[in-house]
């Protein structure tokens, strides 16, 4: 990650450079979308959350502290937005089958697609707290310290959640042939 | 050896967050407890499986949708509104002087065009209102939308919304298109007549209004507003067509609330 470059882009946004915002969106659109997708298991919701996260970033540019990494900031926003969506879902329906992950599977990518779908189904069976640390560690490549900063929890708690989450995920995947 | 500590070392090792000293400690743990080796193998396998899951591509158009959604706020953020004598026109408009400026410019041009070309006009508006281009230095959404179309196609993304302000119907085009997309708003049966067109500063689109249709071409992320006034009985529906390279890529309709037509 180019931390200085991101801080410069944020500064340029603050100064009215619309292109700088476009560059930030281009750079982080995919990871932010994937974080939301793994949290939510639904592409439409993930796209909406991605858009909301970037707009919140834009609205809060003046509050951005360049001492912190930009991606930590936006990951925190996307995780919080995703959890809000999960909470709203919980309120509206106990189990909506249409929300279960569905993945297009072009023949050329069917194995990857099946792996992705199987993993997503397993992820959706663990609680949001556990899913969050798995997403940040394995899909966003964050360190323990970064996860601690993003979630604002002690590093010790990050480790504890991660170890439990992995054990749960392994158990869920045990019957799928992946283990 | 504390079992919890051993587990922590195994995960730290797989996560690449183990020090040389802890690495030695882990080695000793594994030698003293064979069950830890099985746990490490399981976790390594899980790491491998997770590592094989590839990132998904975001849906087409998401990036432009985000940028288009931020654009109006961006303009508000960076442009200090300036007062204009035209602020007194269309009093009470929530987007104030600057939008009024654009609308008023369009009205002014419309009056001129009507005056010059009255013989060519149909009942829906001036035949050649190419000069009906109001320019805004800033833009705010003109009031709460009464109707909205969302677009997220490969060719064009964003939204079209309607609102009613001071007896005028405002159609707000907040769109982004990588390649030129022709937009046609058919208001021929709506009971409305074309009253004006306003756009962002630096945008250079012009509009044609003729035979009950408004046409203009969208490219890049710009925001436009088309104004209509009630002119008689109609179904209140404006039908929209979006064409790329002459081919229809999307069509939709918005119904104008009765209060905008009365």
Q: How many domains does chain B have?
A: 2
Evaluate if pTM is beyond 0.95: no
Q: Look at residue A2 and tell me whether its pLDDT is greater than 50.
A: no
Is there a domain that residue B246 lies in?
Answer: yes
Is there a domain that residue B135 lies in?
Answer: yes
Q: Where is average pLDDT lowest: A148-157, B55-64, B88-97, B139-148?
A: B88-97
Please list every residue in chain B whose beta carbon sits closer than 8 Å to the beta carbon of residue A81.
Answer: none
Q: Look at residue B165 and tell me whether its pLDDT is greater than 90.
A: no
Instruction: Check A31 against B55: CB less than 8 A apart.
Output: yes
The pLDDT value recorded for residue B3 is: 85
Among candidates B93, B83, B111, B79, which has minimal Cα distance to B172?
A: B93
Cα gap B210→B173, rounded to integer Å: 19
Please list every residue in chain B whose beta carbon sits closer than 8 Å to the beta carbon of residue A55.
Answer: 66, 69-70, 73
Please list every residue in chain B whose beta carbon sits closer than 8 Å to the beta carbon of residue A112.
Answer: 52, 54
Residue B29 — pLDDT band, cuts 50, 70, 90? very high
Please list every residue in chain A whose beta carbon sits closer than 8 Å to the beta carbon of residue B3.
Answer: none
Q: Are residues B191 and B219 in the same domain?
A: yes
Q: Are residues B143 and B239 in the same domain?
A: yes
Q: Where is average pLDDT lowest: B54-58, B85-89, B179-183, B203-207?
A: B85-89
Domains A1-98 and A101-179 share a fold: no
Report how far apart the first and last C-alpha atoms of chain A are (Å, whole number). 33
The CATH number that applies at residue B100 is 2.60.40.290
Is there a domain that residue B57 lies in?
Answer: no
Distances from the Cα of A68 to the Cα of A4, A36, A111, A154, A156, angstroms: 10, 21, 38, 17, 20
Q: Are residues B109 and B10 in the same domain?
A: no
CATH number for the domain formed by residue range(s) A101-179: 1.10.10.10
pLDDT tens digits along A30-75: 999 999 999 999 999 999 999 999 999 998 988 888 888 899 999 9
Instruction: Check B62 against A50: CB less than 8 A apart.
Output: yes
pLDDT top residue among B76 and A147? A147
Q: Look at residue B259 and tell me whether its pLDDT is greater than 70.
A: no
Q: Are residues B21 and B141 in the same domain?
A: no
3-state secondary structure B153-167: CCCEEEEEEEEEECC
The pLDDT of B129-142, averaged and rounded, is 37
Fold of the A1-98 domain: Rna Polymerase Sigma Factor; Chain: A (1.10.1740)
Residue B117 — pLDDT band, cuts 50, 70, 90? very low
- Within a 13 Å sphere around the CA of B202, how many CA atoms are in the beta-carbon half? 7
Among candidates A65, A107, A146, A25, which has minimal Cα distance to B176?
A: A25
Instruction: Check A115 against B69: CB less than 8 A apart.
Output: no
Q: What angle do CA B100, B77, B144 make, to 5 degrees?
A: 50
The pLDDT value recorded for residue B143 is: 53
pLDDT top residue among A140 and A112? A140
Q: Are residues B69 and B47 in the same domain?
A: no
Q: Are residues B160 and B250 in the same domain?
A: yes
Domain boundaries, chain A: 1-98, 101-179
Is there a domain that residue B231 lies in?
Answer: yes
Inter-chain Cβ pairs, chain A and chain B, closer than 8 A? 96
DSSP B56: P
Instruction: Check A59 against B62: CB less than 8 A apart.
Output: no
Q: Look at residue B100 and tell me whether its pLDDT is greater than 90.
A: no
The pLDDT value recorded for residue B119 is: 26
Cα gap A24→A5, rounded to integer Å: 10
Q: Are residues B26 and B83 in the same domain?
A: no
Instruction: Check B57 against A139: CB less than 8 A apart.
Output: no
Phi and psi at B239, nearest 5°, equal -105, 135
Q: Are residues B167 and B243 in the same domain?
A: yes
Cα gap B115→B241, rounded to integer Å: 30
Instruction: Check B65 against A170: CB less than 8 A apart.
Output: no
For B75, the closest chain A residue by CA position comes to A16
The pLDDT of B59-78, averaged and rounded, is 77
H/E stretch holding A48 reads: helix A43-59
The pLDDT value recorded for residue A33 is: 97
Cα gap B107→B186, rounded to integer Å: 20
**Mean pLDDT of all residues in chain A?**
87
The boundaries of the domain holding residue B159 are: 62-261
Interface test with A, best of B70, B80, B150 (most A CBs within 10 A): B70
The pair of three-digit structure tokens given for residue A6, joined into one six-digit string: 């991101």
Cα gap B66→A21, rounded to integer Å: 10
Residues of A with CB under 8 A from a CB of B: 15-16, 18, 21-22, 25-26, 29-31, 33-34, 37, 43, 47, 50-51, 54-55, 58-59, 112, 115-116, 119, 134, 137-139, 143-144, 159, 162-163, 166, 169-170, 173, 178-179
Instruction: Check B63 against A25: CB less than 8 A apart.
Output: yes
Q: Are residues B74 and B187 in the same domain?
A: yes
ipTM of the modeled complex: 0.86
For B60, the closest chain A residue by CA position comes to A47
The pLDDT value recorded for residue B179 is: 86
Q: Are residues B131 and B247 in the same domain?
A: yes
Query: Distance from B69 to chain A by nearest Cα, in Å?
Result: 8
pLDDT tens digits along B2-26: 888 999 999 999 999 999 999 999 9
Residue A146 — pLDDT band, cuts 50, 70, 90? very high
Q: Is B221 left (phi over 0), alpha (psi -120 to 50) or beta?
A: beta
Q: Look at residue A95 and tell me whether its pLDDT is greater than 80.
A: no
Interface test with B, best of A17, A25, A139 (most B CBs within 10 A): A25
Residue B128 — pLDDT band, cuts 50, 70, 90? very low
Please list every residue in chain B whose beta carbon sits closer than 8 Å to the beta carbon of residue A31.
Answer: 55
The pLDDT value recorded for residue B203 is: 58
Radius of gyration of chain A (CA): 17
The pLDDT value recorded for residue B145 is: 66
Q: Are B186 and B213 in contact (CB under 8 A)?
A: yes
For A162, the closest chain B residue by CA position comes to B11
pLDDT top residue among B243 and A2? B243
pLDDT top residue among B104 and B80? B104
The pLDDT value recorded for residue A110 is: 61
Query: Distance from B237 to chain A by nearest Cα, in Å?
Result: 29
Instruction: Check B65 against A34: CB less than 8 A apart.
Output: no
Residue B202 — pLDDT band, cuts 50, 70, 90? low
H/E stretch holding A35 reads: helix A18-40
Instruction: Check B52 against A34: CB less than 8 A apart.
Output: no
What is the distance, to the nearest Å, from the Cα of residue B31 to the centroid of all Cα atoms in its chain?
A: 61
Q: Are residues B178 and B106 in the same domain?
A: yes
Q: Are residues B77 and B31 in the same domain?
A: no
CB-count exposure of residue A87 (10 Å: 0-12, 13-18, 19+): exposed
Q: Are B181 and B244 in contact (CB under 8 A)?
A: yes
For B11, the closest chain A residue by CA position comes to A163
Cα gap B162→A174, rounded to integer Å: 54
């Amino acid at each position: 990650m180019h931390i200085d470059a991101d801080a410069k882009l944020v500064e340029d946004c603050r100064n009215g450079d619309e292109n700088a915002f476009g560059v930030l969106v281009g750079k982080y659109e995919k990871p932010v979308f994937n974080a939301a997708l793994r949290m939510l298991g639904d592409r439409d919701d993930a796209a909406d959350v991605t858009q909301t996260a970037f707009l919140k970033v834009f609205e809060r540019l003046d509050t951005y502290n360049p001492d912190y990494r930009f991606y930590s900031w936006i990951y925190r926003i996307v995780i919080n937005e995703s959890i809000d969506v999960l909470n709203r879902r919980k309120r509206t329906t106990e189990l909506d089958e249409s929300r279960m992950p569905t993945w297009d599977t072009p023949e050329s990518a069917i194995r990857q697609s099946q792996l992705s779908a199987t993993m997503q189904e397993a992820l959706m069976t663990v609680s949001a707290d556990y899913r969050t640390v798995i997403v940040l560690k394995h899909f966003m490549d964050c360190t323990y310290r970064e996860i601690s900063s993003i979630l604002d929890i002690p590093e010790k708690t990050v480790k504890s959640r991660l170890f439990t989450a992995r054990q749960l995920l392994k158990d869920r995947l045990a019957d799928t042939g992946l283990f | 050896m504390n079992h919890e500590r051993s587990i922590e070392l195994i995960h730290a090792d797989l996560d690449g967050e183990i020090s040389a000293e802890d690495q030695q400690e882990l080695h000793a743990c594994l030698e003293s407890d064979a069950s830890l080796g099985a746990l490490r193998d399981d976790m390594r396998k899980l790491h491998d499986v997770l590592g094989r899951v590839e990132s998904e591509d975001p849906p087409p158009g998401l990036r432009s949708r985000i940028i288009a959604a931020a654009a109006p706020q961006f303009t508000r953020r960076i442009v200090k509104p300036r007062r204009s004598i035209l602020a007194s026109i269309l009093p009470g408009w929530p987007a104030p002087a600057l939008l009024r400026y654009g609308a008023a410019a369009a009205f002014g041009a419309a009056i001129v065009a009507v005056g010059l070309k009255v013989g060519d006009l149909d009942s829906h508006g001036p035949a050649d209102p190419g000069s009906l281009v109001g320019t805004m230095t800033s833009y705010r959404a003109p009031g709460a939308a009464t109707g909205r179309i969302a677009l997220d196609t490969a060719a064009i993304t964003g939204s079209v919304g309607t609102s009613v302000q001071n007896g005028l119907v405002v159609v707000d085009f907040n769109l982004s298109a990588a390649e030129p997309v022709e937009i046609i708003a058919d208001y021929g049966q709506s009971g409305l007549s074309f009253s004006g067109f306003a756009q962002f500063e630096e945008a250079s689109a012009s509009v044609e209004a003729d035979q009950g249709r408004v046409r203009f071409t969208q490219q890049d992320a710009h925001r436009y507003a088309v104004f209509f006034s009630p002119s008689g009985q109609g179904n209140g529906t404006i039908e929209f067509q979006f064409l790329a390279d002459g081919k229809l890529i999307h069509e939709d309709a918005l119904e104008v609330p009765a209060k905008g037509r009365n």
